[in-house]
Structure 1
Amino acid sequence: MDKLNDIVVLVNDFVWNNILLYVLVGTGIFFTIRTGFVQIRRFPKAWNRVFGGFSLNGEKAGKDGMSSFQALSTAIAAQVGTGNIAGCATALVSGGPGAIFWMWIAAFFGMATIYGEAILAQKTRVRDDEGNITGGPVYYIREAFPGGFGKFLGGFFSVAIICALGFMGNMVQSNSISDAFNTAFGAPKFAVGIVIAVIAAFIFLGGIGRIASFTEKVVPMMAAMYLIGSVIVLAINFRNLPGAVASIFIGAFSPKAVGGAVAGMTIRMAMRFGVARGLFSNEAGMGSTPHAHAMAKVKHPQEQGETAMVGVFLDTFIVLTVTALVILSSGVLDGMISNGVSGTPVAQAAFGTAFGGFGSVFVALCLLFFAFSTIIGWYFFAAANVTQLFGSRAVKPFSVIVVACIFLGSLLKVDLVWNLSDLFNGLMVLPNLVALIALNAVVARAARGKRIERNLKEDVPVVQRPVAE
């Protein structure tokens, strides 16, 4: 088992650090140019679209999809997760303060990528065998490559995302929750696992209506709770804020000038860990969030493309940045690097400088909401691919397996599972990006304001329609 884990680690290192880092950022740069910097031109309109009158009690989601805000909330539920706390801390420890600058760069270009993902998901959405609107990368992959090759790539993507998110990914998330509660409260992991599994099962079995209702309420509240706590810490440590901000820009280009234990960092390390952790957090280009955006009830695909960009902005430029500033202004980073401490304990120590013993409790509570919302989002994305491969009747058996994985994941941390989750995350990116680039002309037309016709005509009988003949 250890030998297999070592092999997976080596493959992961090669896939993420030698292929995906460059391909993901490169795709973002490509779409930024092709869309004429859509993330700048359309951002004010996108912001107003999201916050111009959203409600925590929107219309009930059903066969015809969900509201645009519910789709965004479902996407953000997956985006804002443990990566915004543990992932940010890991990037700072491994790449220094400069890693945050490169997170911003990756997110900026990623906004153009996710704009394209949402538009193509809207364009190629279908109705499943029970008449429910569904969509995602598998459908635009098959449109980009009609015939056997497209079916193979689509099937490969579906299997990868089911494994990466539905099974292994959700084990990782539940493990993060049980670890945090065990550390903060001494709660038995067995008990925590049962509670998480039962609540998850209740939401899963309620279908899209219950999932959409959960995300539209919980996502804004969890973000507000975390941001309020973070602002309090920043207010207490306000004298250190100018230095914290400066260290991000200095560390991006001259890590040695930052001083302390961080002086051992290099620009390459800052770029590598900043880009990797940033993309893993906001999921732009990974092919996960298009499943939610496909179901948004909007008049034109461009509208949801604009909304999707706000999700990346909120994840990286707001939540993740606030975490970074809390850690940097607290003064704990050098000590953590020197002692080889990484992940959640770094964030807990940072919040502890202002909250004392409550710091660990606060982070544990935030991790509960962040990780659990990610479980709901990832289940939803994986279930859409189960439906595509096996039909809607397979979703309930799938949900039972996922609930079992959630419980098992809370009990033990198996390095092989964590590393396999990273590997399958990487594998599902490749067919998604290939299809995005193949269909870039559609995205470019949408960014210029041209009308994009959906494949699914709403006045046709309710049957599952082929994406391409």
Structure 2
Amino acid sequence: MENVVNVIAAVNNAINGVVWGIPMLILIIGTGIYMTAGMKFFQITHIKHWMNETFLAIFKKKYVTAHTNKNESSISQFQALSTALAATIGVGNIAGVAGAIITGGAGAVFWMWLSALFGMMTNYSENVLGIYYRRKNAKGEWSGGAMYYLQDGLKGKKGIGIFAKPLAILFSVFCVFASFGIGNMTQVHEIASSLQDTFKIPPIATGIIIAAVAALVILGGIKAIGSVTEKIVPFMACAYILGTIIVLVMNITSVPAVLAAIFTNAFGLRPVAGATVGMMIKQAMTMGFKRGVFSNEAGLGSSVMVHSASNVKEPIAQGMWGIFEVFFDTIVVCTLTAFTVLCSGLIDLETGEVLTSVTGASLVSEALSEGLGTLAGSFVAIAICLFAFSTVLGWSFYGTKSCEYLFGTKATIVYKVIFVVCIIFGATMSFDLAWAIADTLNALMAIPNLIGVLALSGTVFAITRNYLDRKITKANVNAKPMLSFDPAIQKMQEESLDEESV
């Protein structure tokens, strides 16, 4: 048995080295650069507009009250964002960022920012395509995602149409398997380990409790998941942000030195040997890009499935929520973690040397202890629990929609039951290999998704121009809105927009 495990590990490591190697990172970042250039840096040139239509809109009365009717199967735009953030904001935002700094130095933070800048438009494009190519399932719920825009968007493309269905199936299969690993058992294992180390709670007890709570939410469908995540995500994010800001304010005089270290390390400006400079830049760039991609999932095609379930009519409207998702996850949460660690004095800003024996989440705990004292360990443990649990909820929906695509709506109840049972196994077993395999499956999801985004880039550009002409530049306010590839859905959504404007 041990030999079989070793063989599986060796094969997975070989595949992982390719799918998460430099070429793959270039493909992901390259897609973001291409989509950014094609839309003339929309995330920067129209920052006021998308902020007004996303984060700032939360405080407007029409958005606060604009929840879906209890009889509807869709969720609000904010619930869609909360569920997507629930899946993306996770252990990686704490332990992952600390690990990136330890391995890649302070310069990794700069490349993390850069990956997020371009990742905003990759996520935007995925969401636009997700809304444009979605449809209603047998339960009357919206179903969308990479599998649908691969199937319907590519089938008419000359030379690539023959691959439309196979790519959609591959994406769904990879997503289902990844949901059990990185979206379930590995997350629960982190929760169980954290609670055992901090509060001495037995892993089996943790597993049973989490499984019971998760079952109540997951079996309730997207409405239940959206209702829970819209409460958990703002609370956990605000609490974590407040904790890191306290430490940041206490070390405010260190911020200029931290910023200098980030840019100096990113471009190898320290006076060291040439070969060492090259290696330092490569390490910082690789770890920064990896952490950015792992954290916000832009390019993986995962969060688009929940964004597609929202009650939005305009594809661009949900696309802008995708921009905000990447902005908040990486530019806000990951950056605060990075600055907390770098301002703490636990990292030598000149040499990059780690001045403590702890790593990962424990490094963040030690950094926070200056502002939170002995509560830091408990604070981080609770943060990891909330982050990881919300990730489980988000990924349960991704797996459900992929299962639905492969086997139909009736098969989803079987998937949900298996998913909940796996939570107990995740709490009580070691899953180093499972994490590695799920990591590989995550990357394999990205390949068909990015093919779809690039092949359908013209559609994204056209929908964006249509929206700009009607809403922003006013070049053609009477243009017919591009809302869906399906004439019946297009007509239904147009009528709905007309009713809202009355």
Q: Which residue of 1 aligns with 2:46?
A: 42
What per-residue deviation string (whole Å, max 9, x for no partner) do you get for residues 328-363 of structure 1? 001123598466743212111211233232111111
Judge which range, 194-203 or 328-337, deviates more: 328-337
Q: Which residue of 2 aligns with 1:453?
A: 483
Which of 347, 362, 371 is the matching residue for 1:345? 362
Q: Which residue of 1 aligns with 2:105?
A: 96
Note the C-alpha offset of 1:418. Answer: 0.7
SS at match of 2:485: coil
Read off the aligned partner of 2:9 and give its amino acid letter: N
Read off the aligned partner of 1:396 and give its amino acid letter: I
Q: Which residue of 2 aligns with 1:121?
A: 130
CA 1:9 to 1:338, structure 2 compared with 1: closer, same or farther past 3 Å?
A: farther
Judge which range, 429-438 or 8-17, deviates more: 8-17
SS at match of 1:356: helix
Q: Which residue of 2 aligns with 1:80?
A: 89
Q: How does 1:374-453 map to 2 (within 5 A)?
A: 374-450=391-467, 451-453=481-483
Judge which range, 365-374 or 43-52, deviates more: 43-52
Note the C-alpha offset of 1:263. Answer: 9.4
Note the C-alpha offset of 1:223. Answer: 0.7
Name the CA distance, whole Å, in 2 between partners of 1:129 and 1:277.
38
Name the CA distance, whole Å, in 1 between partners of 2:371 and 2:420.
37
Identity of aligned pairs, percent?
38
Q: Which residue of 2 aligns with 1:268?
A: 282
User: Cα RMSD between the aligned structures?
Assistant: 2.3
Judge which range, 415-424 or 61-70, deviates more: 61-70
Read off the aligned partner of 1:111 and give its amino acid letter: M
Contiguous gaps of at least 5 residues in structure 2: 156-160, 468-480, 493-502
Read off the aligned partner of 1:373 and give its amino acid letter: S
Note the C-alpha offset of 1:145. Answer: 2.5
What per-residue deviation string (whole Å, max 9, x for no partner) do you get for residues 174-222 of structure 1? 1111111112112211111111111111101111211110111111111
Q: Contact 2:106–2:342 at 8 Å: present in 1 too?
A: yes
What per-residue deviation string (whole Å, max 9, x for no partner) do you get for residues 436-468 of structure 1? 11110111112223532303434999xxxxxxx
Q: Contact 2:182–2:439 at 8 Å: present in 1 too?
A: no
Q: Which residue of 2 aligns with 1:189?
A: 203
SS at match of 1:452: coil
Name the CA distance, whole Å, in 1 between partners of 2:359 and 2:421.
29
| Structure 1 residue 22 corresponds to structure 2 residue 36 | no
SS at match of 2:299: coil
Read off the aligned partner of 1:356 and give its amino acid letter: G
Read off the aligned partner of 1:144 and give its amino acid letter: G
Contiguous gaps of at least 5 residues in structure 1: 462-469
Bigger Rg over Cα: 2
Which of 379, 386, 394 is the matching residue for 1:369? 386
Q: Which residue of 2 aligns with 1:154?
A: 168
Name the CA distance, whole Å, in 2 between partners of 1:202 and 1:57.
25
SS at match of 1:455: coil
Read off the aligned partner of 1:206 and give its amino acid letter: G
Note the C-alpha offset of 1:307. Answer: 1.6
Q: Contact 2:68–2:74 at 8 Å: present in 1 too?
A: no
Q: Which residue of 2 aligns with 1:130?
A: 139
Normalised by the size of structure 1, how large is the TM-score? 0.92
Q: State the structure with bigger RCO (CA 8 A, min sep 6), 1 or 2.
A: 1
Q: Which residue of 1 aligns with 2:316?
A: 302
Note the C-alpha offset of 1:2. Answer: 2.6
Normalised by the size of structure 2, how large is the TM-score? 0.86
Note the C-alpha offset of 1:168. Answer: 4.5
Q: Which residue of 2 aligns with 1:5?
A: 9
Name the CA distance, whole Å, in 2 between partners of 1:62 and 1:319.
35
Note the C-alpha offset of 1:76. Answer: 1.0
